[in-house]
Chains A and B, each alone.
Chain A
Amino acid sequence: EAGVAQSPRYKIIEKRQSVAFWCNPISGHATLYWYQQILGQGPKLLIQFQNNGVVDDSQLPKDRFSAERLKGVDSTLKIQPAKLEDSAVYLCASGQVYGYTFGSGTRLTVV
């Protein structure tokens, strides 16, 4: 089966600019997650979708981060405006019940 697709792979922006990441999950996976992985740390959940509904966004900094999942398939994560501390790898994952698959991630550098 095809894996979780993410784009872009890398992005460098200046602080206060905006950026968007895209994720296409594995076909048929109802659950989609966005994680933030800061260098040297474990992935931290930002938001979880079940089909096209949000089931957990308690760790999402909603003043600057937003995410949507259209038609229960693709998802986009947006940051506006970006801060230096947003520099991280943003991982998308999708799954069924147990164990999910990660995409390759988008490495964001905010300068």
Chain B
Amino acid sequence: GENVEQHPSTLSVQEGDSAVIKCTYSDSASNYFPWYKQELGKRPQLIIDIRSNVGEKKDQRIAVTLNKTAKHFSLHITETQPEDSAVYFCAASWSGGYNKLIFGAGTRLAVHP
């Protein structure tokens, strides 16, 4: 079955710096790659997603890139702010699997003022 690996497990940056989180997936049939942000004690919330027919997608300070050949995708956060501090999860799914999401283990991002 699908397996998603996520790195790093923790990331500490200074406010204003960029942060990059990387994920790799195992099933080449995967075609949908969302990123979720989870603040302490709260539900995971979708922040950006990308489908396999697109190589990059941006939404203000966040962007996601996808390399289908290498089977990896990355989240990029620019001009980080303290409120970006949270745990970020990548996930992958494929339509043949009824779109069930398989999650990475998460990255704890700390943005220091």
State the A residues within 8 Å of B (CB).
31, 33, 40-45, 48, 50, 55-56, 91, 95, 97-105
Contacts and interface: CB of A to CB of B under 8 A. Distances in A.
> Which 7 residue pairs are nearest across A and B when measured between Cβ atoms?
A42-B103, A102-B43, A55-B98, A42-B105, A43-B103, A42-B106, A104-B43
Nearest to A105: B43
A91 B100 contact: no
B63 interface: no
Interface residues of B, number: 23
B105 A31 contact: no
Given A41-B105, A42-B103, A98-B49, A103 B43 contact: yes
B89 A102 contact: no
Contacts, number: 54
The secondary structure that dominates the A interface is strand
A103 to B, nearest CB: 6
B43 A100 contact: no
Contacts of B97: 56
A43 B89 contact: yes
A19 to B, nearest CB: 20
21 contacts: A33-B100, A42-B89, A42-B91, A43-B89, A43-B103, A45-B100, A45-B102, A48-B100, A55-B98, A56-B100, A98-B32, A98-B34, A98-B49, A99-B34, A100-B46, A100-B99, A100-B101, A102-B45, A103-B43, A104-B42, A104-B43
